[in-house]
């Protein structure tokens, strides 16, 4: 006869706060997309398709989990979706940096903050594991572990691209030299006299 020991999946208050914070900021960013001028930029058909598939899958899984109250399974599914969406979020930027052989016009600051968060997340899980004398913090919440690994991987890749592979060339004043053609954000007016009104 086998004895199974059930352990609680480690979810701390800061994990919940992080998720709520991410949802709030993402909602605010989406709100800004709708209220600010976008010019000719638009959401790609690929992005719309991926979003539709993910939301459909999430709703179907919710419908499946609801009658059985299988919330743990649903959280695992959502964790898997989050890991997949994070890869989809990072891969285009890494490819674009590689194709352009440049990171000019792209902020490394958020990546440095993201890397700090990912490393501290591992630190938190490590300290909890030492305190509890178990590695359940790593394998009990596999979505959190995979997300941290994925984030650290892409952040290190971006840092290597920015500082090692494609560092910005600087002039004698320390300003970045932009060798590629960059289109202005706002088109100049055909009637300069109206600009001075």
The CA distance from 120 to 126, in Å, is: 9
The CA distance from 152 to 155, in Å, is: 5
Nearest Cα to 90, choosing from 20, 158, 166? 158
Specify the fold of 71-170: Monooxygenase (1.20.1280)
Nearest Cα to 152, choosing from 114, 123, 187? 114
Contacts of 147 (CB under 8 A, 6+ apart): 79, 82, 83, 86
pLDDT in tens, the chain (197 residues): 444 444 555 566 777 887 888 889 989 988 998 898 888 888 889 999 999 999 999 999 999 999 998 888 888 898 899 999 999 999 999 999 999 999 888 889 999 999 998 899 888 888 888 988 888 878 877 888 898 899 999 999 999 999 999 987 776 666 666 665 555 555 665 555 555 44
Contacts of 180 (CB under 8 A, 6+ apart): 100, 102, 104
By the 8 A CB rule, do 61 and 45 touch?
Answer: no
Query: Can you tell me which residue has the tokens 């352009």?
Result: 100
What does the chain come to in residues?
A: 197
At 9 the pLDDT is 58
For the chain, domain boundaries: 71-170
Residue 115: alpha-carbon gap to chain centroid: 11
Contacts of 98 (CB under 8 A, 6+ apart): 161
Name the phi and psi angles at 170, rounded to 5.
-120, 150
At 171 the pLDDT is 64
The CA distance from 163 to 157, in Å, is: 10
Residue 76: alpha-carbon gap to chain centroid: 18
């Amino acid at each position: 006869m086998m004895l199974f020991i059930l352990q609680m999946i480690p979810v701390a208050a800061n994990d919940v706060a992080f998720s709520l914070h991410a949802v709030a900021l993402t909602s605010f960013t989406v709100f800004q997309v709708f209220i600010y001028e976008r010019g000719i930029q638009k959401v790609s058909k690929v992005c719309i398709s991926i979003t539709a598939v993910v939301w459909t899958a999430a709703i179907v899984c919710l419908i499946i989990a609801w009658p059985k109250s299988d919330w743990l399974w649903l959280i695992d599914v959502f964790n898997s979706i989050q890991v997949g969406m994070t890869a989809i979020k990072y891969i285009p930027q890494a490819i674009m940096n590689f194709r352009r052989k440049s990171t000019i016009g792209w902020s490394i600051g958020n990546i440095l903050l993201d890397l700090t968060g990912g490393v501290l997340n591992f630190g938190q899980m490590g300290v909890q594991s030492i305190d509890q004398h178990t590695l359940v913090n790593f394998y009990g919440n596999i979505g959190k572990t995979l997300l941290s690994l994925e984030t650290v991987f892409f952040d290190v890749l971006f840092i290597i691209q920015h500082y090692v592979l494609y560092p910005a060339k600087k002039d004698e004043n320390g300003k970045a030299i932009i060798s590629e053609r960059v289109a202005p954000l706002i088109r100049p007016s055909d009637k300069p006299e109206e600009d001075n009104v």
